[in-house]
Structure 1
Amino acid sequence: MLTTHPFDDDHLHEECGIFGVSQTEGAAALVALGLHALQHRGQEAAGITTFDGAMFHTHRAMGHVAGNFDRDDVIRSLPGQVACGHVRYSTTGETALRNVQPLYAELSSGGFAIAHNGNLSNAMKLRRELVRRGSIFQSTSDTETIIHLVATSSYRTLLDRFIDALKQIEGAYALIVMTPEGMIACRDPLGIRPLVMGKLDDAVIFASESVALDVVGAEFVREVEPGELVIVQGSETRSVHPFAPLSPRPCIFEWVYFSRPDSIVDDQSIYSVRKNIGAQLAIEAPVEADLVIPVPDSGVPAAIGYAQESGLPFELGIIRSHYVGRTFIQPGDKVRHLGVKLKHNANRALIKGKRVVLIDDSIVRGTTSLKIVQMMREAGAAEVHMRIASPPTRHSCFYGVDTPERAKLLAAKHDLGGMTDFIHADSLAFVSIDGLYKALGETHRADIRPKYCDACFTGDYPTSLTDHDDTTAVDQFALLAERVN
């Protein structure tokens, strides 16, 4: 099956996007619009849950928001003034309807719906303990662990039980929770995953990105702070900070790739930061060439910055068709290759005989970069130089990003020369880690307490990795036993 964008197959993928609204008529329709704006954050499945003051209503489906939530009968089946929604790209749990969020359960305090962006790095350990104590799980999602922790907490109030659950989990999370008492939105103490707050008349809105507020006509109020819980009950909003304060470490890849260019994150324009990265890349890795060409669509802002800084012409050397459906054909290898050209084709008349600089946001396995370089050569390019608007991705992410195991990351297996040979480019260069921080307004990456989570580049993980460490220990023990036997 052809994916929507073949060049995206070898990118890192954010796990999901969340959107919630409290105290507005037609809440489900508003959430559907917000999820449309967040579709880039998760394209496998979508779901919406509403509360009408007496009952919870949920509709979940595989596929995009369009086609599932643009029907009047679906929206009519989701009454209520409070609603939350989720778009999913799975990193934990298989792709199945039972894992599509929001997840819902009936607790002793009433209904409990939860939408989660992120990944819990100790979910497997907690799940084993909960099952041992009698919990029965209905999904393979790490998010369900939170529900069981709330259900089994010995604290009296629902808020205290929820805080008790949060204090037991590790990793990254931005959460929107719905209960009969109201809505709760929160971020993990390091703020690894994003969450913003807005207002639309009397309605309070939460979203993974500010662009979702723009789409529904809401006013941006502020970011939910790392470690903060915002509680909305009727017309009242209050905030609690139950965790010890930590130096925030938001995911740096939000600026490199995940967020839409028209979003604002941490008071910075994503589009402007990506242009800055491209300009820094031109300073660090200049090359004699004729054209700067972005890899569509994520490489465009960085390519503009590279072209402006280097003085080289910016041109659309790869043309993307927006009109090829997701399931155009079930191809064999030969037809699959042709299908890629259906969606992305070289602008041959522009490229022939030229020395081109290709700008992309990242290299993961390297297979996409190989295809793009090959496309340029087939179009007659005299030289093909690749420039990447992030440092080499050498480490896996455990915080809600779909990263291949480390052995499959090109930069973990090869040095720069080996990577250049693998993709068949004339030259290859990445922006440095200090250059990336400079593009974000920092002088450099501090060795102690860096401002962002950049573990995929540096291996500097800001939290414990309980499940990974336990699995590694088991694997090492099995390997040792095998050698002994």
Structure 2
Amino acid sequence: MLTTHPFDDDKLREECGVFGIWGADTAAAVTALGLHALQHRGQEAAGITSWDGHAFHSHRAMGHVAGNFDKDSVIRALAGRASIGHVRYSTTGETALRNVQPLFAELASGGFAIAHNGNISNAMRLRRELNRRGSIFQSTSDTEVIIHLVATSTQPSLLDRFIDALKQVEGAYSLACLTEEGLIACRDPLGIRPLVMGRLGEAYIVASETVALDVVGATYLRSIEPGELIVVSEQGVRSLRPFAPERPRPCIFEHVYFSRPDSIVDGASVYSVRKAIGAELARENEVEADYVVPVPDSGVPAAIGYAQESGIPFELGIIRSHYVGRTFIQPGDQVRHLGVKLKHNANSALIAGKRLVLIDDSIVRGTTSLKIVQMLREAGAREVHMRIASPPTRHSCFYGVDTPERKKLLAAQMSVAEMNAYIKADSLAFLSMDGLYRALGEDGREAADPRYCDACFSGDYPTRLTDQEDLQQHGELLPAANYG
């Protein structure tokens, strides 16, 4: 059968990436390139919707951007000087074409396409209310709730109806929307999910990460600020502030793992932050060892920082194959066990007889850590000391990240000592919360007023979780949702 690679199924996963452009002759082609750069944010499906001044055109497909948008005929069919695109990684609910974004609807005011990164945390309650009022949903995505709220709003203009819809939703969202009047981009009032703006010639671009701007040759202008709404049209760029101001709480895990290291998130180089995280980890958790070894690729920048701070040499003790996809055939237990080495293999000639500091970004279920430690021991490592470049992940995320339910999070069920015994390392230590904040340029975490959303570590959720409250209070079996 086909199954997810065992080294891939034990990571928190960013669910989506968005890209939008207005004013380029090759808008769809630029969007496809931008989505390539955002592929790490979602590998299950991709879609592009364009507007040619008369009609909207869409192509959505399961799978990677490459293979779905590498044909000239597909790009030519996406005519127009404006387009938006989306890459998707779903959580619960069905993985089906009807949930692939951008979602599109013909409203009374004209066509409306939307691409969403995040999670509407009151989507199920809103959906039930809309169903009672006669709305008929075509997907199980929370993103479609926004379309129905826009369609049923009584405000005079499409922009007013869009703002009215957003004022009814809770949670996290970075949105790129395409209308006949212009490209609309918006970030939730807390700025939980990232969104940036750039320029390519006379065209304006919005994207989840700056790396998408780099790949298409665009100039990075700035981050779209929390609670800011941007409208790009033939009249230029307008910036609106339709929400009451709140203290921003951007997702701290973007810096730990989600974003590509060559991106800039909210003004900070992700690569530099990850190196600083490694240095903090070394200061907090010293150990005598021969080599610092990263779990590739996510542990590499932190391992470099750890090595530089500790003076222990950095070495590639694990080699990753970049030619293995997220799935492969596993016909039996023996082959399944051997399949672990398809993607990561110990560099036995280097590590035999050595004491290793093994650096990874996080421990979720613990299955990956157990396999890696075992692999290094089988390759002859004398000691394996695991160091994690983030605090223990003890809580689920409800803001657009695929997180196991809390009972499946190893750190929610075990102490650090118990976790160490489970993964069979010689020692295990995590970065402290204050250390993580120091790496981001803060003095530490202010418990009463934290700078970031760190709910996956602290359990301090910055918004209401209405659907979760309904489930806990009433025991309702809420419909499964595929979040944006």
TM range (shorter): over 0.9
Identify the residue that residue 214 of structure 2 maps to in structure 1: 214
Q: How many angstroms apart in 2 are the aligned matches of 1:266 and 1:76?
A: 35
Matched, 1:118 2:92: no
CA-CA distance at 1:325 after TM superposition: 4.4
CA 1:245–1:326 in 2, change beyond 3 Å: closer, same or farther?
closer
User: Is there any run of 5+ residues in structure 2 with no aligned partner, and where?
Assistant: 478-484
Q: How many angstroms apart in 2 are the aligned matches of 1:93 and 1:170?
A: 20
Matched, 1:137 2:172: no
Matched, 1:399 2:399: yes
**C-alpha contact 2:3 2:330 (8 A) present in aligned 1:** no
Q: How many angstroms apart in 1 are the aligned matches of 2:221 and 2:189?
A: 20
**C-alpha contact 1:388 1:430 (8 A) present in aligned 2:** yes
CA-CA distance at 1:183 after TM superposition: 0.9
Identify the residue that residue 463 of structure 2 maps to in structure 1: 463
**C-alpha contact 2:194 2:266 (8 A) present in aligned 1:** no
Identify the residue that residue 87 of structure 2 maps to in structure 1: 87
Matched, 1:353 2:317: no
Matched, 1:276 2:290: no
Q: Equivalent residues in 2 for 1:297-376 (5 A)?
A: 297-376=297-376
> What are the Cα deviations for residues 105-128 of structure 1, in whole angstroms up to 9, with x where unaligned?
010001010000000000000000
Identify the residue that residue 481 of structure 1 maps to in structure 2: none
Identify the residue that residue 184 of structure 1 maps to in structure 2: 184
CA-CA distance at 1:3 after TM superposition: 6.4
Q: How many angstroms apart in 2 are the aligned matches of 1:411 and 1:84?
A: 39
User: Is there any run of 5+ residues in structure 1 with no aligned partner, and where?
Assistant: 478-485
> What are the Cα deviations for residues 414-439 of structure 1, in whole angstroms up to 9, with x where unaligned?
01111001101110000000000000
> What are the Cα deviations for residues 367-400 of structure 1, in whole angstroms up to 9, with x where unaligned?
0000000001101111111000000000000000
**What SS class does the counterpart of residue 411 from structure 2 fall into?**
helix
Matched, 1:243 2:282: no
Q: Equivalent residues in 2 for 1:383-422 (5 A)?
A: 383-422=383-422
CA-CA distance at 1:76 after TM superposition: 1.1
Q: How many angstroms apart in 2 are the aligned matches of 1:302 and 1:448?
A: 28
**C-alpha contact 2:280 2:435 (8 A) present in aligned 1:** yes
Matched, 1:41 2:36: no
CA-CA distance at 1:331 after TM superposition: 2.9
CA-CA distance at 1:340 after TM superposition: 1.6
**What SS class does the counterpart of residue 407 from structure 2 fall into?**
helix
Q: How many angstroms apart in 1 are the aligned matches of 2:325 and 2:215?
A: 24
- Tell me the amino acid that sits aligned with residue 136 of structure 1: I
**C-alpha contact 2:273 2:440 (8 A) present in aligned 1:** yes
CA-CA distance at 1:351 after TM superposition: 1.0
Matched, 1:152 2:156: no
CA 1:266–1:181 in 2, change beyond 3 Å: closer, same or farther?
same
CA 1:80–1:476 in 2, change beyond 3 Å: closer, same or farther?
closer
**What SS class does the counterpart of residue 8 from structure 1 fall into?**
coil
**C-alpha contact 1:346 1:376 (8 A) present in aligned 2:** yes
> What are the Cα deviations for residues 197-254 of structure 1, in whole angstroms up to 9, with x where unaligned?
0001100000000010000000001111111110011141101101110000000000
Q: How many angstroms apart in 1 are the aligned matches of 2:235 and 2:207?
A: 19
Q: Equivalent residues in 2 for 1:21-60 (5 A)?
A: 21-60=21-60
Q: How many angstroms apart in 1 are the aligned matches of 2:24 and 2:39?
A: 23
Q: How many angstroms apart in 2 are the aligned matches of 1:366 and 1:328?
A: 21
CA-CA distance at 1:93 after TM superposition: 3.7
CA 1:290–1:445 in 2, change beyond 3 Å: closer, same or farther?
same
**What SS class does the counterpart of residue 289 from structure 1 fall into?**
coil
- Tell me the amino acid that sits aligned with residue 387 of structure 1: R
Identify the residue that residue 480 of structure 1 maps to in structure 2: none
> What are the Cα deviations for residues 72-99 of structure 1, in whole angstroms up to 9, with x where unaligned?
1111110010100000011354211100
Identify the residue that residue 174 of structure 1 maps to in structure 2: 174
CA-CA distance at 1:329 after TM superposition: 2.5
Identify the residue that residue 224 of structure 1 maps to in structure 2: 224
Q: How many angstroms apart in 2 are the aligned matches of 1:240 and 1:69?
A: 33
CA 1:53–1:167 in 2, change beyond 3 Å: closer, same or farther?
same
Matched, 1:101 2:101: yes
> What are the Cα deviations for residues 14-50 of structure 1, in whole angstroms up to 9, with x where unaligned?
0100000001101000000000000000000000000
**C-alpha contact 1:190 1:226 (8 A) present in aligned 2:** yes
CA 1:118–1:92 in 2, change beyond 3 Å: closer, same or farther?
farther
Q: How many angstroms apart in 1 are the aligned matches of 2:396 and 2:324?
A: 32
Q: How many angstroms apart in 2 are the aligned matches of 1:328 and 1:421?
A: 30
Q: How many angstroms apart in 2 are the aligned matches of 1:281 and 1:429?
A: 9
Structure 1 range deviating more: 57-66 or 329-338: 329-338
Q: How many angstroms apart in 1 are the aligned matches of 2:258 and 2:84?
A: 21
Identify the residue that residue 253 of structure 2 maps to in structure 1: 253
**C-alpha contact 1:6 1:340 (8 A) present in aligned 2:** yes
**C-alpha contact 1:52 1:82 (8 A) present in aligned 2:** yes
CA 1:292–1:2 in 2, change beyond 3 Å: closer, same or farther?
farther
**C-alpha contact 1:14 1:401 (8 A) present in aligned 2:** yes
TM-score by length of 2: 0.97
CA-CA distance at 1:7 after TM superposition: 2.2
**What SS class does the counterpart of residue 7 from structure 1 fall into?**
coil
Backbone CA RMSD of aligned residues: 1.3
CA 1:327–1:442 in 2, change beyond 3 Å: closer, same or farther?
closer
CA 1:358–1:35 in 2, change beyond 3 Å: closer, same or farther?
same
CA-CA distance at 1:321 after TM superposition: 1.3
CA 1:476–1:221 in 2, change beyond 3 Å: closer, same or farther?
closer
CA-CA distance at 1:330 after TM superposition: 3.8
Q: How many angstroms apart in 1 are the aligned matches of 2:331 and 2:118?
A: 34
CA 1:4–1:191 in 2, change beyond 3 Å: closer, same or farther?
same
Q: Which has the higher contact order (CA 8 A, sep 6+)?
A: 2
Structure 1 range deviating more: 114-123 or 318-327: 318-327
Q: How many angstroms apart in 2 are the aligned matches of 1:405 and 1:43?
A: 21
**C-alpha contact 1:289 1:357 (8 A) present in aligned 2:** yes
Identify the residue that residue 428 of structure 2 maps to in structure 1: 428
CA-CA distance at 1:4 after TM superposition: 7.4
CA-CA distance at 1:327 after TM superposition: 4.7
Tell me the number of residue pairs that the alignment of Structure 1 and Structure 2 aligns: 477
Matched, 1:440 2:440: yes
- Sequence identity, in percent? 76
Q: How many angstroms apart in 2 are the aligned matches of 1:456 and 1:240?
A: 31
